Amino acid sequence: MRYIFLLIAIFAIFGIAVSAAAELKNTVTASAVDGSGANVSSSADAAIIINETASGILLKDVEKKAYKPGEMANYTFRLSNTGTARLTDIRVVDDLLGPITMSTTAVGPGEFAEGTAQMKVTESMLPGPVINYAVATMNGAGESLSLNASAVFEIDAIPEILITKLTDVSSADIGKEVVYTFTIENTGSRTLYNVEAVDDKLGEIALPKTTMAPGEKMVVTKNHVVTIEDIEA
């Protein structure tokens, strides 16, 4: 099912139309003065029915198809007025992002409103995909109108660990002490547990912690006295 979402689209668009009729009535008046100074006038009315259509399209898009835990997912929203009536009191709410601040709350025919939002991707969202829904509500042509849109992305969760090892000297005599420095880093995008380091000559390296978040690193040292067994081995 997770792959079906991606095959559909990275964004979704939904539109709806509401029709209404309004009366345009106008009055014309003719007036004149006769030779005796008397005023005369006459008025006439005419009315036509103006048909209004309130319709729109809500587009929601996410910047990338996949994110790593710790990254920020960037969303864009665009509400376009595709009808002939003015859309007012526009409000957009996303089920994960909350209320979305749009560039305007009223758009005329052919106009649009835009908004942006961010969401931090966390490991709690694994295994994905992450799909969220937005609902836009507004008024137009004397009626209430709602539009819906969704967006989806995958989560790249790759476990990786990197260790580097340095010495404080490039050479040493037997019986001399050498200081080894170990740097361990979580270079992946998932939290690592039960972290340990074992050296084939020095044995187990004592670590300050056994859990590492993505991007976290720790540096430890261990002293070793050079022996003849080190060479013979």
Domain identity same for 117 and 217: no
Q: If pLDDT is split at 50, 70 and 90, which confidence band does 118 have?
A: very high
Q: Which residue has the higher pLDDT, 97 or 38?
A: 97
**Structural domain for 185, as ranges:** 162-232
Total domains in the chain come to 2
Contacts of 216 (CB under 8 A, 6+ apart): 185, 186
Rounded CA separation 178/181 (Å):
10
Domain identity same for 60 and 118: yes
Q: If pLDDT is split at 50, 70 and 90, which confidence band does 19 have?
A: low
Of 16-25, 65-74, 84-93, 103-112, the range with the lowest mean pLDDT is 16-25
Q: If pLDDT is split at 50, 70 and 90, which confidence band does 5 have?
A: very low
Q: Does the residue 29 lie in any domain?
A: no
Domain identity same for 8 and 123: yes
Q: Could you tell me the two tokens for 61?
A: 């898009």
Rounded CA separation 138/214 (Å):
43
Write down which residue in 155, 171, 201 finishes a domain.
155
Domain identity same for 151 and 166: no
Q: If pLDDT is split at 50, 70 and 90, which confidence band does 172 have?
A: confident
For residue 9, pLDDT beyond 50 = no
Domain identity same for 116 and 193: no
Rounded CA separation 224/28 (Å):
106
The pTM score is 0.64
In CATH, what number is assigned to the domain containing residue 132?
A: 2.60.40.1230
Domain identity same for 88 and 187: no
